Amino acid sequence: MKEIILGAGCFWGTQAFFDKINGIVKTEVGYVNGVLDNVTYEQVCRGNTGFIEVCKIWFDETKITLEKILNKFFEIIDPTIENRQGNDIGTQYQSSIFYLEKDKKTFENSIFSVIKNIQSSYDSVIKTRVDTLKVYIKAEEYHQKYLDKNPTGYCHIDLSKANND
């Protein structure tokens, strides 16, 4: 099983989206690569911690490729916008891709190949951040599977795009 960490704006919708995709074994929402040893949602929302809201995804490589996950990710974001997705505005909402250091060589090749392939679909440069995971803090329990618990909660992501092809 492999892990990839994706930031697509609000982490609630990102988690709900990837939970619908075959080959995704587990998801969890959290905060990455900020400047504090520990952080709360309220602190992240202030936009001064350096943390980005993300969804950590564990996937079965025998059932889904990293490339397919990344292509699905790029279907639900606008990668040309910095620090915003949908109505979510702030540095904590930067579209982003993080990977474990041990996966750097193979993941970077796949990530940059997918970005290169989709760049022609955009008039502007893709600004999605790509980096190794340095710090990951699991979000509070009330954020985990939030849209399952709160089906009328806000989500800028079109969850119907998760339909498997």
Cβ atoms 56, 136 nearer than 8 A: yes
CB-based contacts of 152, cutoff 8 Å, min separation 6: none
**Burial of 84 from C-beta contacts in 10 A (0-12 / 13-18 / 19+):** middle
Q: Give strand pairing partners of 84.
A: 89
pLDDT at 165: 57
Q: Name all domains of the chain by residue range, CATH numbers in brackets.
A: 2-160 (3.30.1060.10)
Query: DSSP for 113-161?
Result: HHHHHHHTT-SS----EEEE---EEEPPGGGTTHHHH-TTS---S-GGG
Tokens read off for 161: 């795009």
β-strand partners of 19: none
Contacts of 90 (CB under 8 A, 6+ apart): 45, 47, 83, 84
Q: What is the pLDDT of residues 32-47, one digit of tens each?
A: 999 999 999 999 999 9
- How far is it, in rounded angstroms, from Cα 5 to Cα 80? 19
Q: What is the spatial distance between Cα 165 and Cα 153, in angstroms, rounded to a whole number?
A: 27
Averaged over 98-122, what is the pLDDT? Answer: 96
Q: pLDDT band at residue 163, thresholds of 50, 70 and 90?
A: confident
Residue with tokens 């080959």: 23
Supply 116's token pair. 């290169």
| Residues 2-38: tens digit of each pLDDT | 999 999 998 999 999 999 999 999 999 999 999 999 9
For residue 105, give both structure tokens: 């060589």
- 10 noted as active-site residue: yes
**pTM given for the model:** 0.95
- Asked whether residue 164 carries a pLDDT value surpassing 80, the answer given is no
